[in-house]
Amino acid sequence: MSETTPFAGKLPIVDDAIPEREWIHSVSVTGPYGITAAVKDFGEVLDWQEHRRELTRGYYRLVHPPQVRLFKRRLEAAYPGYTAVLFGSGPLAQKEWCELCSIEGHTLHTQSHSELPKTLEEVDCHLLHLTLDSLTAGAALVRDPELAEELHERNRRRGGSLSARTVTAMLGEEAMGEGTAELERECAATLCEMEHADHCLFYASGMGAVTAVLDLVLRSECPRMLVLGNVYRDTHLLLEEQAWAGREVKTDFLDTHDLRGLQQRIGHPEVAGVLVETITNPLIEIPDLPEIARICAEAGKPLLVDSTMAGPLNATPLDLGATLVIHSTSKYLSGSNTHGGGIVLTNQSEWAEQLDIRQQRELNRLSPLEFPALREGLSTYPERLERFNRNGEALAALLRSHPAVETVYHGNQGRPEWLKGLASVVSCECKNPSLDKVGRFFDAPLPGVFNAPSLGSNQTLFCPYVLLAYYDKSDAYLKECNLSKTLFRFAAGCEEDFALVLKGISDALDGLL
């Protein structure tokens, strides 16, 4: 049953005041729907990593935006004794809850509701399937707080995010124009043209797209994935640490250029496919995509390419033989930091049909209200990409020439002909690296630079990426991944005048000498 009026009058009002000492009051990089946020100093980074304080804002998939956090608190006030875990749809909430119970061997009493119930029976979990016109939201009201936390952690990594715009509209707190099916088709056509694709499916986040692809490709009879090079941390986590329902997923992590190792393993009957990034994160290595595609084709295995770090127009992996291409549309394609989403593109109808069937069943899709911001980003993307490429090269040149820098990571083996540009992420290690130096640089004045995670932002961002993403990992573990917690990662913006940003970075590096 679809609601036609907002839910605001059906939920109690709660006090949203947040004590300063208990929270880190991070600042949105771009307005009320900003998908990432900056913190004040390095001490706040460590406070968050040590769980001493929580962030009021952060990267939207990992830290609830204020609108979503308030919706969660209002649900919990309406249904005391339950912890609310939020999803992009009711069917997605049901899928993730059932899979978690299956993995942990729980048989729990669950009830489902197509609207906000007035009262709840005392059972283990209530699943809310909420709709308002074309908008969807899902919630699992879980009796056991520890199980709720497991479900929340699972969802934040797997990318089933609830859009802040959807929440605002559902609560009737802001008059908002709604995205239309025509607007979705327009965005899909633009993206297909850029990527030379025939099919495009939209998800709530880049990790939502990654999870949907892996969920389809990995099966009980072939649960092994081959990965070449560093991949985004949460992709790594999905494959290495998080349990999957109905299969025991195994992953072989190979060096970016280990084609011999790939050839030796790909024929194994357990292998489901090969996953690679067009440009690896954060070391900016470039795998030999044409050769990897050839090896996959000979073995009859799908090649999955996350091309977020390169962006469309810089590379077209489908032309090189990729089966499925994934992007986080939150990054270069949007640029504004006001849109969260992900896409999967392919030229193969059978893969598109299978993804579409699952997407329709789970309503695992991008909120209609996210399309206007995406369309706006797409309209300027080609010209912005030129500046991203140019500013990335300028930043790499500065870092290579600075006496405080030991190693720069920015396509050090050269750029192949099929890759038109390296985009704008540049990483480096300082001479005599230490966390003290990371902190001193972080706290230095950096005009035009936000100390915030993410990439592909029109404004330049800096973060100690490995420290943030792998904080709980040992130095020995990181050494195997060729990573270090002292690594600096810059994501140059597309500023037309980049000189101020370069000078600020140079001055901050001078302070490390």
Q: What is the CATH number of the domain that holds 461?
A: 3.90.1150.10
**Residue 175 confidence (pLDDT) above 70:** no
Residue 179 banded pLDDT, cuts 50, 70, 90: low
> Which amino acid type is present at position 430?
C
Asked if residue 77 is part of any domain, the answer here is yes
365/179 Cα distance (integer angstroms): 13
What per-residue confidence (pLDDT) applies to 405?
98
Residue 177 banded pLDDT, cuts 50, 70, 90: low
Provide the mean pLDDT of the chain.
Answer: 95
- The alpha carbon dihedral of 24, 28, 33, 36 has a sign of negative
Cβ contact 340:330 at 8 Å: yes
Of 55, 16, 17, 53, the C-alpha closest to 36 is 55
Q: What are phi and psi of 192, to 5 degrees?
A: -65, -40
The tens digit of pLDDT for each residue in 227-243 reads 999 999 999 999 999 99
Whole-structure pTM value: 0.96
Q: What is the CATH number of the domain that holds 224?
A: 3.40.640.10
Residues 239 and 148 both lie in one domain: no
Q: What is the DSSP letter of 338?
A: -
Residues 422 and 360 both lie in one domain: no
* Low-confidence winner among 8-12, 83-87, 114-118, 355-359 (lowest mean pLDDT): 8-12
Asked if residue 73 is part of any domain, the answer here is yes
Residues 311 and 227 both lie in one domain: yes
Residues 163 and 242 both lie in one domain: no
- Distances in Å between the Cα of 338 and the Cα atoms of 59, 149, 344, 377, 471 are 11, 27, 20, 10, 27
Residues 222 and 366 both lie in one domain: yes
84/73 Cα distance (integer angstroms): 8
190/489 Cα distance (integer angstroms): 30
227/266 Cα distance (integer angstroms): 11
496/500 Cα distance (integer angstroms): 11
Structure token digits, residue 388: 């991203």
Residues 194 and 233 both lie in one domain: yes
365/346 Cα distance (integer angstroms): 17
Residues 304 and 420 both lie in one domain: no
> β-strand 488-491 against 425-430: which pairing, if any?
antiparallel
Cβ contact 151:85 at 8 Å: yes
The tens digit of pLDDT for each residue in 95-152 reads 999 999 999 999 999 999 999 999 999 999 999 999 998 899 999 999 999 999 999 9
Sheet with 135-142, side-by-side order of all strands = 83-87, 135-142, 125-132, 110-113
Asked if residue 282 is part of any domain, the answer here is yes
Asked if residue 206 is part of any domain, the answer here is yes
HEC per residue, 202-258? EECCHHHHHHHHHHHHCECCECEEEEECCCCHHHHHHHHCCCECCECCEEEEECCCC
Cβ contact 158:208 at 8 Å: yes
Of 201, 221, 186, the C-alpha closest to 358 is 201
**Residue 16 confidence (pLDDT) above 90:** no
Q: For the chain, how big is the Rg over CA atoms in Å? A: 22
Structure token digits, residue 297: 């084709």
Asked if residue 291 is part of any domain, the answer here is yes
Q: What is the DSSP letter of 450?
A: E
**Residue 5 confidence (pLDDT) above 70:** no
Structure token digits, residue 54: 């929580």
Residues 343 and 363 both lie in one domain: yes
Residue 18 banded pLDDT, cuts 50, 70, 90: confident
What per-residue confidence (pLDDT) applies to 399?
98
What per-residue confidence (pLDDT) applies to 359?
97
If you search the block for the tokens 């089966």, which residue do you land on? 323
Share of the chain above pLDDT 70, in %: 98
141/124 Cα distance (integer angstroms): 8
Q: Which of 126, 144, 170 is the last residue of a domain?
A: 170
Residues 369 and 391 both lie in one domain: no
Beta bridge partners of 202: 343
Residues 260 and 408 both lie in one domain: no
Q: Which of 325, 355, 377 is the last residue of a domain?
A: 377
> β-strand 324-328 against 54-55: which pairing, if any?
unpaired
Domain that holds residue 321: 181-377
Residues 249 and 356 both lie in one domain: yes
Asked if residue 17 is part of any domain, the answer here is no
Residues 254 and 327 both lie in one domain: yes
Asked if residue 105 is part of any domain, the answer here is yes
Of 343, 353, 345, the C-alpha closest to 322 is 345
What per-residue confidence (pLDDT) applies to 4?
56
Query: What is the CB neighbour count within 10 angstroms for residue 457?
Result: 27
Q: Which of 359, 377, 395 is the last residue of a domain?
A: 377
Asked if residue 202 is part of any domain, the answer here is yes
Structure token digits, residue 91: 């069917």
* Low-confidence winner among 1-10, 151-160, 346-355, 416-425 (lowest mean pLDDT): 1-10
Cβ contact 278:332 at 8 Å: no
Three-class SS state of 277: strand
Q: How many domains does the chain have?
A: 3
**Residue 6 confidence (pLDDT) above 80:** no
